[in-house]
């Protein structure tokens, strides 16, 4: 009945590896990142789980199986199109017609197994499923698998010309991916930190207070000044005032200024400041996406500096959680003009931001509009290096699901992807 402690610990490690190494991506050919099924003693039990395919999702999309159990998945396709389910261990249902059912024998499960729909683009649109081993059968995770989804809606530009901002450094436990908690260093308790917004000429008076346990600081790219005093690291319990005038438009990064910055940025200390260009038009929907990488340390601990140095992210993500908008899409209506601000916080990876099915007619890159609706050409990506940003606009022509990704596909598979769900025009 009870399992040895080692087994329980391994279970935790499996969950961690599962979600991070394979949120999306594990190819069947990948070397196993977890113990092989053969390493687990079969229990002789079979766990049977009903999974429904609907709206380009599997419900549930995370299944927990006691290690050593045989898993059988009974798949019902309640969608208006064909789907299948393929597992990284080679098991597959074959094509399931609309309103059809299929039974998949996943075998004895001793390690994490990723699954997906093999129809073109379905996996990218969010049809993924993760089987993890652990106590209990049906994991209580809700549909999106993590506790919170960050609202990607851009804040409106406040009327005032002086922005007084209280920014507290907090070292907090965050569920960065389903079942994976990390001790993140944050501005204000979230990763990324709050999105600040103003106009050219505005003054930002930021009071930074260090509520953490080690020294931290801040560097706002949105203002030009001598770094010596405002960017100095401060001890726990200390505060400083960082005052800058936003003289230039753009989406600017802010981040911790304490060495090694790779570790402080890599562990969550970054955010965006939007300074509106003077001629910025109103659009139907305006979103902000901050791309960054996750380098997970041990469960509940800080990020792994060695992985950051080796540039081996466990996940690449928008607004702090891999895949969050694949499961909780951004929304728009057919014919709407959508503007998406994108900042690449890195710390290491570039972004090649693309919306599947859309063509950008407007591109604003690092302080300059490089493409507008009157130009005969269009753009397919917003190309960003670490610590650069801009925005794109597109009119989404008809209702449907438009995935967005970093088109560096390895990063899309690591979690830098989401969906814009476009409803019909009324
Ligand atoms: Cu810091």
Q: How many CB atoms lie within 10 A of CB 359?
A: 13
Domain co-membership, 42 together with 127: yes
**Pairing relation of β-strands 285-294 and 315-318?**
antiparallel
**Separation of CA 248 and ligand 1 centre (Å):** 26
CATH of the domain at 304: 2.60.40.420
Asked whether residue 99 is marked as a ligand-binding residue, the answer is: no
**Separation of CA 133 and ligand 1 centre (Å):** 35
Domain co-membership, 312 together with 371: yes
**Separation of CA 170 and ligand 1 centre (Å):** 10
**Separation of CA 217 and ligand 1 centre (Å):** 6
Domain co-membership, 182 together with 82: no
Domain co-membership, 17 together with 84: yes
**Separation of CA 255 and ligand 1 centre (Å):** 8
Asked whether residue 285 is marked as a ligand-binding residue, the answer is: no
Asked whether residue 263 is marked as a ligand-binding residue, the answer is: no
**Separation of CA 232 and ligand 1 centre (Å):** 11
Domain co-membership, 298 together with 271: no
Domain co-membership, 299 together with 392: yes
pLDDT tens track, the chain, 426 positions: 333 333 333 343 333 444 444 333 333 333 333 334 446 788 888 888 889 898 888 888 888 887 888 898 989 898 888 999 999 999 999 999 998 989 999 999 888 889 999 988 888 778 889 888 875 323 333 334 555 789 999 999 999 999 999 999 999 999 988 778 999 999 999 999 999 999 999 999 999 999 999 999 999 999 999 999 999 999 999 999 999 999 999 999 999 999 999 999 999 999 999 999 998 999 999 999 999 999 999 999 999 999 999 999 999 999 999 999 998 999 999 999 999 999 999 999 999 999 999 999 999 999 999 999 999 999 999 999 999 999 999 999 999 999 999 999 999 999 999 999 999 998
Domain co-membership, 290 together with 392: yes
Per the CB < 8 A criterion, the answer to whether 376 and 325 are in contact is no
Expressed as residue numbers, the domain containing 377 is 285-423
Asked whether residue 168 is marked as a ligand-binding residue, the answer is: no
* 152 located within any domain: no
Asked whether residue 83 is marked as a ligand-binding residue, the answer is: no
Q: 183: closest CA among 233, 191, 323?
A: 191
Domain co-membership, 85 together with 114: yes
Report the DSSP beta bridge partners of residue 392: 340, 363
């Amino acid at each position: 009945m009870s399992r040895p402690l080692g087994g329980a610990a391994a279970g935790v490690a499996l969950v961690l590896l599962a979600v991070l190494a394979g949120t999306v991506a594990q190819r069947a050919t990948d070397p196993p990142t977890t113990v092989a099924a053969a390493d687990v003693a079969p229990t002789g039990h079979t766990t049977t789980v009903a999974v429904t395919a609907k709206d380009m999702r599997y419900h549930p999309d995370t299944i927990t199986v006691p290690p050593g159990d045989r898993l059988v998945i009974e798949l019902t396709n309640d969608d208006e199109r064909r789907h299948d389910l393929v597992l990284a261990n080679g098991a597959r249902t074959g094509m399931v017609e609309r309103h059809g059912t299929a039974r998949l024998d996943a075998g004895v499960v001793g390690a994490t197994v990723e699954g997906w729909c093999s129809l073109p683009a379905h996996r990218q649109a969010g049809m993924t499923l993760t089987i993890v081993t652990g106590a209990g059968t049906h994991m209580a995770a809700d549909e999106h698998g993590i506790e919170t989804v960050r609202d990607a809606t851009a804040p409106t530009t406040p009327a005032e010309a002086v922005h007084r901002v209280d920014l507290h450094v907090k070292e907090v436990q965050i569920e960065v991916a389903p079942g994976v908690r990390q001790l993140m260093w944050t501005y204000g308790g979230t990763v990324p930190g709050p999105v600040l917004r103003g106009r050219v000429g505005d003054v930002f008076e930021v009071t930074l207070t260090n509520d953490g346990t080690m020294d931290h600081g801040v560097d706002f790219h949105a203002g030009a000044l001598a770094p010596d005093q405002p960017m100095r690291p401060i001890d726990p319990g200390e505060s400083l005032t960082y005052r800058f005038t936003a003289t230039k438009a753009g989406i600017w990064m802010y981040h911790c200024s304490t060495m090694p910055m790779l570790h402080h940025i890599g562990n969550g200390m970054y955010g965006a400041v939007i300074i509106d260009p003077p001629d910025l038009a109103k659009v139907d929907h305006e979103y902000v996406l901050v791309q960054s990488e996750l380098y997970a340390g041990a469960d509940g601990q800080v990020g792994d500096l060695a992985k950051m140095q080796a540039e081996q992210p466990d996940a690449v993500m928008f607004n702090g959680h891999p895949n969050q908008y694949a499961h909780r899409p951004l929304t728009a209506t057919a014919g709407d003009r959508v503007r998406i601000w994108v900042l690449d916080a890195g710390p290491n990876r570039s972004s090649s931001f693309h919306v599947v099915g859309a063509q950008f007619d407007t591109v604003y890159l690092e302080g300059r509009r490089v493409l507008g609706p009157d130009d005969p050409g269009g753009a397919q990506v917003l190309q960003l290096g670490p610590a650069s940003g801009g925005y794109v606009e597109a009119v989404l022509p008809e209702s449907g699901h438009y995935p967005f990704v970093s088109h560096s596909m390895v990063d899309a598979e690591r979690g830098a992807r989401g969906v814009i769900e476009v409803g019909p025009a009324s």
